Chains A and B, each alone.
Chain A
Amino acid sequence: MSFSPSLNRYASHMLTKKLPPLQSFLSRFSRHTSHLARQQYDVIVVGGGHAGTEAAAAAARVGAETLLVTQKIQTIGALSCNPSLGGVGKGHLVKEIDALDGLCGRAGDWAGIFFSILNRRKGPAVWGPRAQLDRQQYREFIQSELLSTPRLTVLEGSVEELLVSEPNPEEPGHHRVTGIHLANGSQPISASSVVLTTGTFLSGSLFMGQSTSPGGRIGDAPSSAGLSWTLRERLGLRTGRLRTGTPPRIVKDSVDLSLVEVHPPDSHPTPFSFLNKNIRCKEDAKGPRYCPSIESRVLRFPGRQHQVWLEPEGLTSDLLYPQGLSMTMPPDVQLRLIREIPGLHRAEIHTPGYGVQYDFVCPTQLSPALQVKSTQGLFLAGQINGTTGYEEAAAQGLWAGVNAARWALSMPAVALSRTESYIGVLIDDLVSRGVTEPYRMFTSRAEFRTSLRPDNADLRLTLKGFEEVGCVSALRYQEAVRVRDSLQDAMAALQALTLSTPIWRKKLPDMRMSENKNTLVNGMEVLQYNDVSFEMLASAFPECLSSHKEFAQRIKIEAVYRPHCQLQKKEIERIQKEENMSLPQDIDYFSLPVSLSQEVREILDRVRPTTLGAATRLQGITPAAIVHLLNYVRHRGQEERRTHRQQPEKREEREEELAARNASLPQ
Chain B
Amino acid sequence: MLPSMYRGLWRAAVHTLRASKGNPPSRFLSTCNGVSSGLADAETIFALSSGHGRCGVAVVRVSGPASATALSCMTGLTRSLPAPRTALLRSITDPQSKEVLDRGLVLWFPAPHSFTGEDSLELHIHGGPAVITAVLQALGSVPGMRPAEAGEFTRRAFQAGKLGLTEVEGLGDLIHAETEAQRRQALRQMSGELGRLYQDWSHKLKRCLAHVEAFIDFSEDELIEDGVLNQVDRSVCDLQAEMERHLKDERRGERLRSGVQVVIAGATNAGKSSLLNTLCQRPAAIVSPIAGTTRDVVETALDIGGFPVLLSDTAGLRDSPDLVEREGVRRARERVEQADLTLVVVDSAHLPSDAQKAATILQGHLRSVLPTQEQPKTVFSADRFLLVLNKTDLLPEEQRLKLHRELRLVSGLPPVSLISCHTNKGLQDFLTVLHSSVKTLCGDPLSGAPTLTQARHRAHLQQCFAALAQYQRYRDIDLALAAEGVRLALTSLGRITGRVGAEEILDIIFKDFCIGK
Contact = CB atoms under 8 A, between A and B. Distances in A.
Given A628-B172, A660-B162, A660-B164, A449 B484 contact: yes
Contacts of B219: 119
A482 interface: no
Interface residues of A, number: 99
B477 interface: yes
A37 interface: no
Nearest to B120: A664
A660 B162 CA distance: 5
Contact of A637 (B13, B17, B516): B17
Interface in B152-211: 153-154, 157, 161-165, 168-169, 171-173, 175-176, 179
Interface string B491-517: 000000000001001100100001111
B115 interface: yes
Interface in A247-286: 286
B2 A580 contact: no
A21 interface: no
B40 interface: yes
A627 interface: yes
Contacts of B506: 442, 444-445
Interface in A565-592: 565-566, 569-570, 572-574, 576-578, 580-581
A123 B7 contact: no
Contact of A420 (B27, B30, B179, B478): B27
A484 interface: yes
B135 interface: no
Interface stretch (B92-100, B220-228, B285-293): B220-228
A578 B114 contact: no
A627 B154 CA distance: 13
B150 to A, nearest CB: 11
Contacts of A641: 20
Contact of B34 (A444, A464, A569): A569
A87 B220 contact: yes
Contacts of A562: 30
A119 B29 CA distance: 23
Given A88-B216, A623-B5, A292 B516 contact: yes
A573 B175 CA distance: 24
Nearest to A302: B514
Contacts of B304: none
Interface in A113-159: 118-119, 121-126, 128
Nearest to A453: B480
A450 B488 CA distance: 12
A635 B13 CA distance: 12
B471 interface: no
A453 B35 CA distance: 21
A631 B480 contact: no
Contacts of A576: 24
A447 B501 CA distance: 10
Given A459-B29, A626-B6, A306 B113 contact: no
A89 interface: yes
B480 A307 contact: no
A128 B161 contact: no
B479 interface: yes
A623 B505 contact: no
A577 B18 contact: yes
A293 B480 contact: no
A89 B168 CA distance: 43
B130 interface: no
B292 to A, nearest CB: 38
Contact of B157 (A119, A491, A666): A666
Contacts of A323: 221
A574 B109 CA distance: 28
Given A126-B479, A663-B162, A624 B221 contact: no
Contacts of B505: 444
Given A292-B515, A631-B172, A450 B484 contact: yes
Q: State the main secondary structure of chain B at its contact with A.
A: helix
B384 to A, nearest CB: 18
A376 interface: no
Interface in B380-417: none
B112 interface: yes
A473 interface: no
B18 A123 contact: no
A659 B114 CA distance: 9
A456 B31 CA distance: 13
B220 A128 contact: yes
Contact of A307 (B21, B109, B172, B221): B221
Contact of B30 (A296, A304, A558, A657): A558
A437 B24 contact: no
A443 interface: yes
A445 B502 contact: yes
Interface in A335-378: none
Nearest to A292: B516
B120 A561 contact: no
Nearest to A656: B161
Contacts of B509: 444
Contacts of A667: 49-50, 59
A637 B35 CA distance: 31
B481 interface: yes
Contact of B161 (A304, A564, A660): A660
B114 A664 contact: yes
A666 B115 contact: yes
Contacts of B171: 627
Contacts of B514: 297, 300-301, 304, 306
A562 B162 CA distance: 36
A496 interface: no
A74 B1 CA distance: 57
A88 B484 contact: no
B481 A450 contact: yes
A293 B515 CA distance: 10
A357 to B, nearest CB: 15
Interface in A623-655: 623-628, 630-631, 634-635, 637, 641, 652
B117 interface: yes
B221 A288 contact: yes
B89 interface: no
Interface string B272-288: 00000000000000000
B179 A623 contact: yes
B17 A663 contact: no
A583 B179 CA distance: 25
B169 to A, nearest CB: 7
Contact of B29 (A291, A558, A564): A558
Nearest to A461: B27
A128 B218 CA distance: 11
A118 B220 contact: yes
Closest 9 CB pairs of A and B: A292-B516, A123-B478, A123-B480, A125-B480, A122-B479, A301-B514, A565-B30, A577-B14, A624-B176
10 contacts: A121-B479, A289-B221, A292-B517, A444-B509, A492-B33, A566-B30, A623-B9, A626-B10, A627-B13, A659-B162
Given A573-B37, A663-B162, 7 more contacts: A126-B217, A449-B480, A564-B484, A570-B40, A573-B26, A578-B10, A660-B161
Interface of A: 4, 87-89, 118-119, 121-126, 128, 286-294, 296-297, 300-301, 304-307, 309, 323-324, 326, 420, 437, 442-445, 447, 449-451, 456, 459-461, 463-464, 484, 487-488, 491-492, 530, 558, 560-562, 564-566, 569-570, 572-574, 576-578, 580-581, 595, 616, 622-628, 630-631, 634-635, 637, 641, 652, 656-657, 659-660, 662-667
